[in-house]
């Protein structure tokens, strides 16, 4: 039962207040959803789908919908889980690159600034798109600039004017991860660097890029964990919020 249905039943006297409280408060046995997180932090709980079963994800979504949650984001949803979930929740949208499963029923007010996500290569696109979708979901204008890595640095220079329009920049790169330092020396906006696990053997599944970014000599570069597009999009949103809201 949805909360509105429970309250209506209390009003009509068909269930007691004690029963209603139990129905509202009772968590599913494998998850305790934090329905007050948005009131505390400004952002509702997001479902991390990678290590959950498709049945667990479906149950959490159902519980959130029953509590009248309007916008729901599930990250790291593979094709098998998507095919299962979309049969139950056909009104959700899926991005196969970002692996996000999204319900957006209420459009959030846009922050003033623009977040630009700069991706070194097409191989980094899944992480970059995750960052884009998360930032958009949280209420930001976002633009993706893809395949401008340092191996062909003229590609970056050709897009530099666009990149400089950003209030916050997310730089996504694997291999040696040099792109974040290069961008950091060319712009004034804060940079969130995201190392990816893309690369050959000595890249150590992203550790090489992570260490390069952590040791960047460019000022204003912060770093999130390997492949953490979600964390980068969230942090970019937090920074962009400081500029206020659209009037």
Residues 6+ apart with CB under 8 A from 100: 73, 74, 75, 77, 94, 130, 133, 134
Helix (H) or strand (E) holding 157: helix 154-158
Q: Which domains does the chain have, with CATH numbers?
A: 31-104 (no CATH), 114-241 (3.40.50.1970)
What is the Cα–Cα distance from 86 to 81, expressed in whole angstroms? 8
Strands (E), 63-154: 71-75, 93-95, 100-104, 114-119, 141-145
Strands (E), the chain: 47-48, 71-75, 93-95, 100-104, 114-119, 141-145, 168-173, 191-195, 221-223
Residues 162, 139 contacting (CB under 8 angstroms): no
The pLDDT score that the predictor gives to residue 69 is 83
The pLDDT score that the predictor gives to residue 247 is 45
Tokens, residue 56: 């667990």
Q: What is the pLDDT of residues 182-233, one digit of tens each?
A: 999 999 999 999 999 998 998 899 999 999 999 998 888 999 999 999 999 9
Name the residue among 239, 129, 152, 135 with its Cα closest to residue 191.
Answer: 239
What are the residue ranges in the chain where pLDDT is below 50?
247
Regarding pTM above 0.95, the answer is: no
């Amino acid at each position: 039962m949805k909360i509105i249905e429970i309250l209506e039943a209390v009003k009509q006297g068909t269930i007691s207040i004690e029963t209603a409280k139990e129905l509202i408060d009772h968590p599913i046995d494998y998850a305790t959803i934090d329905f007050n997180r948005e009131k505390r932090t400004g952002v509702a709980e997001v479902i991390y789908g990678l290590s959950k079963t498709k049945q667990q994800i479906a149950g959490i979504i159902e519980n959130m919908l029953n509590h009248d949650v309007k916008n729901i984001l599930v990250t790291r949803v593979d094709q098998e889980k998507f095919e299962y979930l979309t049969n139950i929740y056909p009104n959700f949208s899926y991005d196969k690159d970002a692996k996000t499963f999204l319900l957006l029923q209420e459009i959030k007010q846009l922050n003033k600034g623009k977040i630009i996500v700069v991706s070194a290569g097409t191989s980094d696109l899944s992480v970059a798109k995750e960052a884009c979708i998360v930032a958009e979901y949280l209420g930001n204008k976002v633009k993706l600039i893809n395949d401008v890595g340092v191996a062909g640095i003229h590609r970056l220079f050709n897009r530099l004017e666009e990149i400089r329009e950003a209030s916050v920049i997310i730089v996504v790169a694997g291999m040696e991860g040099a792109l974040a330092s290069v961008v950091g020396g060319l712009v004034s906006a804060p940079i969130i660097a995201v190392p990816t696990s893309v690369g050959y053997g000595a890249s150590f599944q992203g550790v090489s890029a992570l260490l390069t970014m952590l040791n960047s000599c460019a000022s204003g570069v912060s770093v999130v964990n390997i492949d953490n597009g979600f964390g980068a999009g969230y942090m970019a949103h937090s920074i962009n919020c400081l500029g206020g809201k659209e009037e």
